[in-house]
Amino acid sequence: MSFTPSSDILGFGRYHVGQAACFGCSRNRLAGTLPQSPSGVFRPCLVIESQYVGNLRKVFMSSTPVALITGSSRGIGRGIALELASLGYGVIVNYVQNEAAARETALAAEKLGTKVLVCQADVSDCDSRSRLVGQSLDFFGRLDVLVNNAGVPVADRVDLMDATEASWDRILNTNLKGPYFLSQLVAREMIRLKGSGIIEKGKIINVSSVSAYATSLNRGEYCVAKAGMSMMTKLFAVRLAEEGIQVFEIRPGVIESDMTAPVRAKYDRLIAKGLSPIRRWGMPSDVAKSVAAIVQDYLPFSTGEVINVDGGFHIRQL
Ligand SMILES: NC(=O)c1ccc[n+]([C@@H]2O[C@H](COP(=O)([O-])OP(=O)(O)OC[C@H]3O[C@@H](n4cnc5c(N)ncnc54)[C@H](OP(=O)(O)O)[C@@H]3O)[C@@H](O)[C@H]2O)c1
């Protein structure tokens, strides 16, 4: 019999219950199939007596806070994952198709001394979301922070009058329905974990956009999804306050990432002309620092709050 939840926390590969020795893993080790961290580092196994499993599970599971960051293989999500890793969080690096990028993030996070689970899951898909949360809990045994960061831009920037239902479904499913129901799923687990004393409090952070209020006629569906995310933040903030779970919206402006790479020249020009009072591109680390402020409890009496990370873009001027 063996169990894997949070086995990474103390650096062991797997725990074995009630066995005198770990023969299975000796064989696996010879065959080279022992469970490994994303960096490929070998971890030995720990053999424990069955009567101590409950206590050990509790100790291992309660030692390190854990954050799930959707879409953390690249861009802003990667910046957030590394920031949280540097704060000592165990992190779940989620991606949808770019496994190589996810492994890069994981390796960088591990170098900061934290434990990492890499998990492929499409946030727009119900079964994927359940698997993502299930695997996260199996691995770490707890979940303290959810960052709903994964998002996609429109495939083609076309005028509002020519936008298609297919594009609407793709954008709304990934950028709004996914985070909405993932929040519901994770919040249920946080309430359960809090009830059993495994976590003290929970935090859900939604990465929206200035598009939540600024119109772009060539990507209306993206704007609608981000505006929906603002309302979603308020709804969950009110519902979860009594559960000790705070909910925040971070609204990035123009941030350097693969998403903005195709429109780099356009934004270079606009920024130079004063699009935002702070005349520079935002970086993923700018967004990550606002996440750090939230998870470190610098906003203890706030919920449903919007944090603009946009160089001052949101300020109206005369
Ligand atoms: N960049 C900006 O200027 C800006 C401004 C405001 C708001 N935002 C928002 O910030 C978030 C991150 O943007 P970014 O610029 O970092 O984008 P990015 O560089 O294109 O990265 C997108 C990330 O989301 C993941 N992803 C996409 N669809 C997914 C799905 N269905 N399930 C799970 N993961 C998925 C990608 O995974 P793969 O690597 O596997 O593809 C990748 O990790 C988005 O919500 C975006 O709307 C960005």
> How large is the average pLDDT for residues 210-219?
98
Domains of the chain: 2-58 (no CATH), 64-309 (3.40.50.720)
Cα 188 from Cα 1, distance rounded (Å) = 29
pLDDT of 63: 79
Say yes or no to pLDDT of 54 above 80: no
Write out the two tokens for 75.
């861009």
**How far, in Å, is the centroid of ligand 1 from the Cα of 71?**
6
CB-based burial, 194-219: b 16+ in 10 Å, e otherwise: beeebbeebbbbbbbbbbbeeeeeeb
pLDDT of 46: 52
Q: Which residues contact 162 (CB under 8 A, 6 or more apart)?
A: none
Say yes or no to pLDDT of 18 above 90: no
Ligand 1 pocket, residue 7 CB under 6 Å: no
In ligand 1, which atom is closest to the CA atom of 72?
43
Q: For tokens 């030692």, name the residue.
A: 63
Task: Render pLDDT for 91-127 as a digit per residue (tens, 0 to 9).
Answer: 999 999 999 999 999 999 999 999 999 999 999 999 9
Instruction: Please state, in angstroms and as integers, the Cα–Cα distance from residue 56 to each residue in 1, 9, 17, 88, following that order.
Output: 15, 11, 11, 21
Write out the two tokens for 22.
């770990």
Write out the two tokens for 223.
């704007």
Just list the catalytic residues.
222
For residue 50, what is the DSSP state? G
pLDDT of 20: 41
The C-alpha angle with vertex 87 and arms to 83 and 90, in degrees rounded to 5, equals 90
Ligand 1 pocket, residue 46 CB under 6 Å: no
The angle that helices 165-172 and 220-241 make with each other, rounded to 10 degrees, is: 30
pLDDT of 33: 37
pLDDT of 52: 58
> How large is the average pLDDT for residues 187-192?
98
The C-alpha angle with vertex 257 and arms to 255 and 262, in degrees rounded to 5, equals 100
Are 157 and 219 within 8 A, CB to CB?
yes
Confidence of residue 1 (pLDDT cuts 50, 70, 90): very low
Residue located nearest, by CA, to atom 17 of ligand 1? 259
pLDDT of 256: 98
Mean pLDDT value across the chain: 87
Cα 64 from Cα 154, distance rounded (Å) = 38
Comparing 258 with 55, the larger pLDDT belongs to 258
Q: Which residues contact 217 (CB under 8 A, 6 or more apart)?
A: 159, 160
Give the 3-state secondary structure of residue 139. Answer: helix
Q: What are phi and psi of 156, to 5 degrees?
A: -130, 130
For residue 211, what is the DSSP state? G
Residue located nearest, by CA, to atom 23 of ligand 1? 71
